[in-house]
């Protein structure tokens, strides 16, 4: 299993992940960096995926109570990741095999 560099997904943007044929991408973690706490206090952030035209909520973060979410999502098709944070970025960790 090979680790990817972290994906940074900025507010209002989506990040497109191209999954090579015969491979899978495993999203393992979503987290906020320290500076987000000052921007959006006491806010729930929804983590979104779009796979095959379907919109899914993969989890949530909170600017004060849950700044990191462990994930175990195995995806074998191209997908997009996004979030609901109005100001700032959410970082996603992943690996592929």
Convert the pLDDT of each residue in 49-80 to its tens digit: 999 999 999 999 998 888 999 999 999 999 99
81 confidence band (pLDDT: 50, 70, 90): very high
Which residue has 């943007």 as its token pair?
13
| Domains in the chain: boundaries | 2-96
Burial class (CB in 10 A: 0-12, 13-18, 19+), 54: exposed
Give the mean pLDDT of 12-25.
Answer: 92
Q: Whole-number mean pLDDT of the chain?
A: 88
pLDDT of residue 90: 93
DSSP H helices, 1-97, are 36-39
**Whether the model pTM is above 0.75:** yes
CATH number (2.60.120.340, 3.40.50.170, 3.40.50.300, 1.10.260.40) of 2-96 reads 2.60.120.340
Neighbours of 94 (CB within 10 A): 21
Q: Extract the tokens encoding 43.
A: 């806010």
């Amino acid at each position: 299993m090979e680790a990817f560099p972290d994906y940074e997904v900025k507010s209002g943007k989506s990040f497109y992940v191209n999954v090579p044929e015969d491979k899978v991408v495993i999203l393992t973690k979503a987290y906020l960096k320290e500076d987000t706490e000052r921007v959006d206090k006491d806010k729930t952030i929804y983590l979104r995926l779009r796979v095959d035209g379907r919109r899914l909520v993969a989890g949530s973060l909170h600017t004060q109570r849950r700044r990191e979410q462990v994930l175990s999502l195995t995806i074998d098709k191209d997908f997009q990741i996004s979030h609901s944070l109005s100001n700032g970025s959410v970082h996603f960790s992943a690996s592929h095999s």
